[in-house]
Structure 1
């Protein structure tokens, strides 16, 4: 961990030393040149810091309500356009993965068709003529990523001892996020999640997921069907009607994951969402998925439905039922009154009027100030919606974020989500 901390400090110091003269030269050419250079430096620094930082940048890039559009645009380039592995590295990585067994590919195009923080994807042809996608994990990721989260956990542990943060379960939140992010290194688990997600959406007319090919895969290599003719979901490239329909379909799929199935894709950003020529939505990369326990799923569904209905009093009761504990001096009546006011201000709002980020921040702040120990499990449903919300606001700010959820919420609460004891 200490070595990783030194490495991070060295990278930041080195990038700063390179950036200062470049920024000074750009400033002499004007504000626009200065801005372009600064964004380029941010992009290069994020890549140099490694996959944990790239993953954070990917999530932040969806939040145009939080960060300037130019920053989001630059960080958004990291969704699937991180510099690919050198060809020699990719070849050595795949050869090592298939050492001791027959090489399954007739031909591989070594120009990566996708390149993310964890892996690169290549187009390959099998001996029988099938075209497949080969997802190869970058070598040497596990050590730095584990060290990054060890540093983050140490920071969370220290933060919990500060007066203003003693009631925040920061360490548990970091541990849960750590487990989900590091789970992206396990391609066997990703293949299992992909199969389960395909089963969940079998017969769904508007969502397509590639089928994994376990027999052709190897340690650190996931082979899947290759989906040709994909279009990136760029707002400027899509007719308004197409963008609005795609957003509503994606939102309904996300709600089904959250409230019905319990297998939640937490990384539904434009780098993982594509459209086919006939408007079918294609969802890629099942690395960052979480399984919601039935009790968590039901409580989240109850909260979301009552928030949409403006029933703040019931929302407050749900929070208290789901909390890990309550401080002895907590003023529960004041807490309920504050939640009623918060929910009342948020209900019956379109995506352009309702901002989940500030709402979630206020929700957790009220719990902290009133001595309510929040359940960290709720971070993943919120994370999935936060990632989606940034895209939704860009593509269709008039969509009724809450009304779209109501049919699935009612179905979940009536038939889809079993009750589970709190213990």
Structure 2
């Protein structure tokens, strides 16, 4: 009842947001519609669609940017050209005005003493959900202060309601009823809203630090809960961070860094089940000695054990070339399968893909291309994975470019085997 009352109370705001979103979409349709129609008539409907959609989502705001970033991994649902453009979405936005920032900080600390001797209102980083500021505590510690943007939670929750209505409408359309739009919205949209919860992010930072404590070459900033408040997360400040090009590192450091990135991600995926899905170059830094710094745990997802087990099973069987079992794992874990699906045809096609990939040299294996072909098979045969599978895949796709830039010869599949052996060994035979 309380939730229903809250939704009713916010109905005018939601309708206003709907009008703004609708107006923006209509404007893009007017401007880009004729070009899209012409491209369709030329049988090239997706040539400019990805770029237009990316621009539209950026205009709509943080919720839609995050949705676009996640949809960029869903090549089972969208064409490659669209996914490639969505993968370029960035959520860096101008910082809020100083007065609005001061208002957020005043409300956060109105019932307790101001904990900073110095606070720089000019952010060192500015994202769509929060800005990061450099500060010095009263006892002289240098800290990073993450401040949630004013009113961003209200906007994103309204967007969540609107996208939920849109997903529900899509699932009622003929030909789309077997696609798990509602489930995808609940899991993916929920993960996006979860980034508003700084208390949860603080816990995720602590959990990642504990899980990766044996990796001496990974540094994760320590959160400082005694200085944090609602909408404000304070953590240790990591100095000396720089985006280094691979060419600026020695060959040994490049190789070490590439292997360390993959070891870290595989540890999250296959052992801990707590996965950082946003390790882009702004959150993952490589030092000159090949050590790593991981920042921002806002987009950290805890995988369910069934998803973690299925993903590990699929990965190890892909690595050893067991295509038939890879197919069975996908079929068994699917969220939905279109009625009349040619399962034998899917098994044969996926076995062929896995065989080709297993035989390829390390420098020739491309995870994004493999995932694209896999998702194309799923789309063609009508086998749709659970939306939660987007998260481990997203974590790998985000770091793939970084790793290949450091060491293009690194074998993604072979690097996973030591980690997989340390967890319960996945099954490697088909059981009836």
| Of 180, 184, 207, the match for 1:173 | 184
CA contact (8 A) 1:233 1:273 kept: no
Distance in 1 separating the partners of 2:28 and 2:121: 30
Question: In 2, Cα distance between the equivalents of 1:155 and 1:352?
Answer: 41
Matched residue SS, 2:296: coil
Question: Secondary structure of 2:412's match?
Answer: coil
Please tell me whether the aligned partners of residues 302 and 413 of structure 1 are also in contact (alpha carbons under 8 angstroms).
Answer: no
Answer yes or no: is the 8 Å Cα contact 2:317–2:326 preserved in 1. Answer: yes
* Cα distance, 1:276–1:364 mapped onto 2, change above 3 Å: closer
User: Is 1:185 aligned with 2:206?
Assistant: no
CA contact (8 A) 1:364 1:374 kept: no
Provide the rounded CA distance (Å) in 2 between the counterparts of 1:389 and 1:404: 13
In the other structure, the counterpart of 1:121 is: 132
State which of 284, 300, 307 in structure 1 corresponds to 2:311. 300
C-alpha distance 397-61 of structure 1, shift in aligned 2 (>3 A): farther
Check conservation: 1:356, 1:386, Cα contact below 8 A: yes
Is 1:401 paired with 2:412? yes
* In structure 1, distance between residues paired with 2:65 and 2:341: 39
The whole-number CA distance in structure 1 between the counterparts of 2:21 and 2:412 is 39
Change (3 A) 1:355 1:156: farther
Stretch of structure 1 that moved more, 367-376 or 219-228: 367-376
Determine if contact 2:116/2:135 at 8 Å carries over to the other structure. yes
CA-to-partner distance for each residue in 1:366-395, whole Å, 9 max, x for gaps? 345445453332121112112222333444
Report the CA distance between 1:351 and its aligned residue: 6.3
Q: How many residues align?
A: 391
Task: Provide the residue aligned with 2:326 in structure 1.
Answer: 315
Counterpart position of 2:280: 269
> Cα–Cα, structure 1 residues 327 and 43, in superposed 2: closer, same or farther, change >3 Å?
closer
- Alignment of 1:218 with 2:229, yes or no, is yes
Q: How does 1:88-107 map to 2 (within 5 A)?
A: 88-107=99-118
Instruction: Give the Å deviation of 1:84.
Output: 1.8
Match of 1:284 in 2: 295
2:140 match: secondary structure = coil
Q: Distance in 2 between matches of 1:13 and 1:50?
A: 16
Q: What is residue 146 of structure 2 aligned with on the other side?
A: 135
RMSD: 3.5
* Most deviating of 47-56 and 253-262: 47-56
Give the whole-Å Cα distance in 2 for the aligned partners of 1:129 and 1:141. Answer: 31
- Corresponding residue of 1:359: 370
- The aligned counterpart of 2:17 is 4
**Deviation per residue, 1:286-339 (Å, 9 max, x gap):** 000111122221111111000011100111222233234555634332222122
Cα distance between partner residues in 2 of 1:344 and 1:302: 16
The residue number in structure 2 matching 1:25 is none
Q: Which is further off, 333-342 or 195-204?
A: 333-342
1:216-266 deviation line (CA, Å, top 9, x unaligned): 100010000111111124446545553443222111100110000000001
Q: Which region of structure 1 is more displaced relative to structure 2, 157-166 or 220-229?
A: 157-166
Equivalent residues of 1:309, 1:348 under 8 A apart: no
- Residue 374 of structure 1 is matched in structure 2 by 385
- Matches of 1:305 and 1:388, distance apart in 2: 19
Measure the CA separation in 1 of the matches of 2:208 and 2:100.
31
1 CA distance for matches of 2:373 and 2:81?
A: 18
Q: Confirm or deny: 8 A CA contact 1:312 1:340 kept in the other structure.
A: yes
- SS of 2:230's equivalent in the other structure is coil
C-alpha distance in 2, partners of 1:51/1:139? 13
1:367/1:276 CA distance change after superposition, 3 Å: closer
- The CA deviation at 1:276 is 3.8
- Give the whole-Å Cα distance in 2 for the aligned partners of 1:199 and 1:45: 40
- Whether the aligned pair in 1 keeps the contact of 2:116 and 2:136 (CA below 8 Å) is yes
Mapped partners of 2:349, 2:25: distance in 1: 42
Q: Structure 2 unaligned segments of length 5 or more: list them.
A: 1-13, 33-50, 75-79, 428-432
Distance 2:363 2:21 in 1: 38
The answer on whether the counterparts of 1:230 and 1:277 sit within 8 Å (CA) in structure 2 is no
TM-score between both structures, scaled by the size of structure 2: 0.79
In structure 1, runs of 5+ residues without a counterpart are 20-38, 419-423
Tell me the residue number matched to 2:206: 195
CA distances 1:258-292 after superposition (whole Å, capped 9, x unpaired) = 00000000111111111345442110000001111
TM-score, normalised on structure 1?
0.81
